[in-house]
Chain A
Amino acid sequence: MATITAGSHKPIVELESATVRFCGDSGDGMQLAGTQLTNTSALAGNDIATFPDFPAEIRAPRGTKAGVSGFQIHFASKDIFTPGDRVEALVAMNPAALITNLSDLVPGGILVVNTDAFDEKGMKQAGYESNPLEDGSLSAYQLFQIDMTRLTRLAVEGCGLGQKESDRCRNFYAMGLVFWLYDRSLEPTLRYIDAKFGKKSPAVAEANRRALHAGYNYGETTEAFAAQYRVHKAELPPGTYRNLTGNEATAYGLMTAAKRSGCELFLGSYPITPASDILHELSRHKNFGVRTFQAEDEIAAMTSVVGAAFGGAMAITTSSGPGIALKQEAMGLAVMTELPLLIINVQRGGPSTGLPTKTEQADLLQALYGRNGECPMPVIAARSPADCFDVMQEAWRIAVRFMTPVMVLTDGYIANGSEPWRIPDFKAMPPIVVTHPDASTNGHEFHPYARNERLARPWALPGTPGLMHRIGGLEKQDVTGNVNYEPENHQHMVNTRARKVALVANDIPLQEVSGPQRGKLLVVSWGGTFGACATAVRDVQDAGGSVAHCHLRYLNPFPRNLGELIGNYEKVLVPELNRGQLRMLLRAEFLVDAVGLNKIKGKPFIVEEIVEEIQAMLE
């Protein structure tokens, strides 16, 4: 940390990274505040990682702990993988937000509170018995008490807004203050205000602009803050970047896969948290030939996709755990009919309705084994928001190459989180080859279940003369596809479907490890815990610990060198946001005595938790 005095009359403290969290009532606009700080930091060239955390209720009773919504952002001048374990600056818009978030603030951290919300009622709702602003309980922090409600009202006076509308500008005031604190440009947010409200409601636009400036000026002019902070540009690989959430990256990845394969995209989906944003995003891109169907239920969403796949579309369904459970029978139909399609599961806390807005990775076994009968399907998982872009394309490549449904796992954490995405060059992407048999069967009868070397059957489309055939959920005779109940045939077909999925292992890269290629400890992770696991391993390695990290994208089948690779280490640690589902698979598959680190709190890992476990295992 270096302190310099810039042109501004306050000193600027240079930081390698900063972690900031806005928290307030779910109606306080905290998600917007976080998003704006994210964008402006991304544009400033920082590496970023974000963690929006909001309640399942759209508007829980005002001022209650249940209604607290937060948005955390980590921005840095180095490569980062997580939104940060602890926050260095916390903006709390009311007592409930303070009491529920304070434990994540580092001692000595910056704490900005809106004092206007700390009235008797507010404190009682939060469960404070005495006023924390006065009783000395916040003495460990740099406390800044600002009457934001009053100051915002003053700032927007004359814009012609009522009190309620004026108070809605408070988040811009808070943003302005934080922007000043971290020496961020107001420009991107001013552009946002103009685009969002400029035409529709000039008065609201003006009020938000004023509130933003007022917050910024408060930091600049008052004596409250002694210094400003600055986080320099990160050394990212050269290229043009933008900020992208996991759900956006998923939508873009799907559209890209459609284009690369020359298929038209059909999405059958039913709204569900936290997957709905994929439906929203894809619905906006009809000019790409994207057809979206908001189905009457999850089952219809899935079965519509079977119909669309039969017709030759790139058919996709998106959902989350409970919806996936409803779709499973129809996924079995897709396995039986051997049609290429994608099922995207943005996992959330379960079981049942569980924790709709919180993250978890407890659907791995559901993905692999959730269907009736022997019903294998390739399963792959994204590790970060931007990785969703690549994973979707890889899933579709596998689906069409092997004529199989593929399940893709993401989770609420990476779906809503964002990170810089290096914009790829579409022209440089190879095509995803899709073939359909044509009408010439050379006088032979068409065999819908004849197979190629990958055991994939032909994808013959309705409309092709001479290839009329019927498919369905009843067991098929191999080659002809006719309904068949013979014992030998069933065994053969069950084995064939399993072999086909197993053959995918020959078509995917070998598993790589970061760190020593053999040694004491291997950390094996999958999905959205990548950031925390990679950071933890790197931290321990930097401190001299001998630990390696292996992050799995392919969960079914596993990469073909995985067993051998795991055997190169004395111990294996599998951190997961579940009760040990990957660990169970690894133990079953490789007879390895893997140890789990299991957290099921609806929250992502913090790096420290993993570091501690690694250190304990290294001792």
Chain B
Amino acid sequence: MPTDLKLPVLSANDFASDQDVRWCPGCGDYSILAQMKKVLPTLGIPREKTVFISGIGCSSRFPYYMNTYGIHSIHGRAPAVATGLKSSRPDLSVWVITGDGDGLSIGGNHLMHCIRRNLDINIVLFNNRIYGLTKGQYSPTSPVGKVTKSTPMGAIDNPLAPLCIAIGCESTFVARSIDTHIKHLGTVLKRAAEHRGTSFVEVYQNCNVFNDGAFDYATDRDTKAETTLELEHGKPLIFGKNRDKGIRLNGTHPEIVELGKGISEDDLLFHDEKAQEPTLAYLLSRMRYPEFPEPIGVFREVDRPKYDEVLNAQIVEAKKAKGEGDLQKLYNAGDTWTVG
């Protein structure tokens, strides 16, 4: 979308509401909020055209802190609220803010259907692998064995991988970033905003009160080069402090190889975020620490018809075919009879 030059130039502060931010000190949410406020002024979309919609959970307080329109709705339902709004008001830029519990547990159904419809909205899922607002029960992304208040002997259910769900629903934009990786996060949010269709972004977010350190492996300065892999379109999958390791496909299985010793970059898996088939993106979404470095960045970005666009195109088409609706004609349609 071209920036209208007549628009006032906004700064991050212009997007801050007058409400005190009430997340726990040190929460990863602050960083996401800061990046969002930085990204929005670069999009050229006026504040009044922007709407943040959330469900329930720590992350879902987000809309209160934005000086835009917003709805802090009910648990899990933000994608459905957004569907109603965006379908009837395609002129608005709509963001859904959710978490691992809100989006994948109570609201799993709505998330899935929103993504498959490819509504032109952006969904940011703050994944802290715990229920924070209800004070520390395990979430659908908590690992097996996780000891929490509700799982004193360890969680026994297999966790969901948010990106696997999104890709399974054939999301047209799938990305992952990390709360402390602020530059990367900003870039990913911007790309999500620019994508037409449902953009799904998972952000690894540290809950320093109930699940502190859940993502240390991916954020620790000493280890992150080995445990994460930054995806770049058209580039081979290389990682490691010395960028000496890569991912190669062995049949349909990824494997870690060391570069040199007869293996060159050309032998590696090349990232193709534009691949129409979601197979590669799914394979990447399955790569998990500690077996693999976890990919961050854009997994997939493809174009597909957008629900709101097609819905509204049908209205235009119907009007063209049948003419603008005339109630009196409708009343009188079919068999009528006259008395008196």
Task: List the interface of chain A (C-beta within 8 A of B).
Answer: 39, 42-45, 188, 233, 236-243, 252, 255-256, 259, 264, 266, 268, 285-291, 293, 295-297, 299-301, 303-313, 315, 329-330, 332-333, 337, 423-427, 462-474, 482-483
Contact = CB atoms under 8 A, between A and B. Distances in A.
Contacts of A252: 327, 330-331
A409 to B, nearest CB: 23
B49 A462 contact: yes
Interface in B80-123: 80-89, 91-92, 109-110, 112-113
Contacts of B324: 287-288
Given A288-B325, A297-B110, A470-B70, 4 more contacts: A45-B337, A252-B330, A256-B327, A465-B46
Contacts of B17: 470
A interface secondary structure, majority = mixed
A469 B69 contact: yes
Contact of A308 (B79, B84, B334): B84
A241 B339 contact: yes
Nearest to B75: A329
A237 to B, nearest CB: 7
B83 A300 contact: yes
Contact of A311 (B74, B88, B327, B337): B88
A483 B21 CA distance: 12
Interface stretch (B157-165, B266-274, B286-294, B312-320): B312-320
A296 B19 contact: no
Contact of B71 (A188, A315, A337): A337
- Max chain B C-beta neighbours (<10 A), residue from A236, A239, A291, A305: A291
B337 A42 contact: yes
Interface residues of B, number: 63
Contact of B84 (A240, A268, A423): A268
Given A308-B87, A465-B48, A472 B327 contact: no
Interface string B28-67: 0000000000000000001111011100100000011011
A441 B92 CA distance: 22
Q: Which among B74, B79, B112, B113 has the highest number of chain A CB atoms within 10 Å?
A: B74
Contacts of A289: 315, 319, 325
B338 interface: yes
A45 B236 CA distance: 79
Contact of A291 (B79, B311, B323): B311
B134 interface: no
B321 interface: yes
Contacts of B69: 310, 462, 468-470
A188 B335 CA distance: 8
Contacts of B319: 286-287, 289
Interface of B: 17, 19, 46-49, 51-53, 56, 63-64, 66-74, 77, 79-89, 91-92, 109-110, 112-113, 311-312, 314-315, 317-319, 321-325, 327-328, 330-332, 334-340
Contact of B322 (A233, A287, A337, A468): A287
A43 B335 contact: yes
Contacts of A259: 327
Given A242-B335, A467-B48, A237 B340 contact: yes
B88 A313 contact: yes
Contacts of B46: 465
Contact of A473 (B67, B74, B82): B74
A287 B81 contact: no
Contacts of A303: 73-74, 77, 80-81, 84, 110
A468 B48 contact: yes
A287 B329 CA distance: 13
Nearest to A389: B331
A332 B83 CA distance: 19
B331 A424 contact: yes
Contacts of A188: 335
A315 B66 CA distance: 26
A329 B315 contact: no
Contact of B332 (A240, A255, A286, A473): A240
A425 B328 CA distance: 7
A256 B330 CA distance: 10
B338 A240 contact: yes
8 nearest A-B pairs in the assembled complex, by CB-CB distance = A238-B340, A472-B72, A288-B325, A304-B84, A307-B84, A307-B85, A286-B318, A300-B80
Nearest to B64: A470
B162 to A, nearest CB: 18
A285 B324 CA distance: 10
Q: Which of A252, A301, A462, A482 has the most CB of B within 10 A?
A: A462
Contacts of A239: 338-340
A293 B323 CA distance: 22
Given A268-B84, A299-B80, A473 B328 contact: no
B84 A426 contact: no
Contact of A462 (B51, B73, B330, B331): B51
A463 B49 contact: yes
12 contacts: A255-B327, A286-B315, A286-B317, A291-B311, A295-B113, A300-B77, A300-B113, A309-B84, A310-B51, A310-B85, A332-B74, A424-B331
Given A286-B318, A304-B81, A241 B338 contact: yes
B72 A240 contact: no
B339 A236 contact: yes
Contacts of A333: 73-74
A311 to B, nearest CB: 4
B48 A305 contact: no
Contacts of A467: 48
Contact of B64 (A296, A473, A483): A483
B109 A311 contact: no
A300 B339 contact: no
| Among A290, A337, A463, A482, residue most surrounded by chain B Cβ atoms (within 10 Å) | A463
B72 A291 contact: no
A264 B315 CA distance: 11
B47 A468 contact: yes
B72 A315 contact: no
B270 to A, nearest CB: 36
A241 B69 CA distance: 47
Nearest to B339: A236
A463 B92 contact: yes
A306 B71 contact: yes
B201 to A, nearest CB: 20
Interface centre among B53, B68, B77 (most CB of A within 10 A): B77
**Residue among B71, B88, B336, B337 with max Cβ neighbours from chain A (10 Å):** B88
A239 B324 CA distance: 26
B91 to A, nearest CB: 7
B324 to A, nearest CB: 6
B89 A312 contact: yes
B334 A242 contact: yes
B334 to A, nearest CB: 6
A337 B53 CA distance: 13
Nearest to A439: B48
Contacts of B81: 303-304, 306-307, 310
A180 B96 CA distance: 63
A472 B63 contact: yes
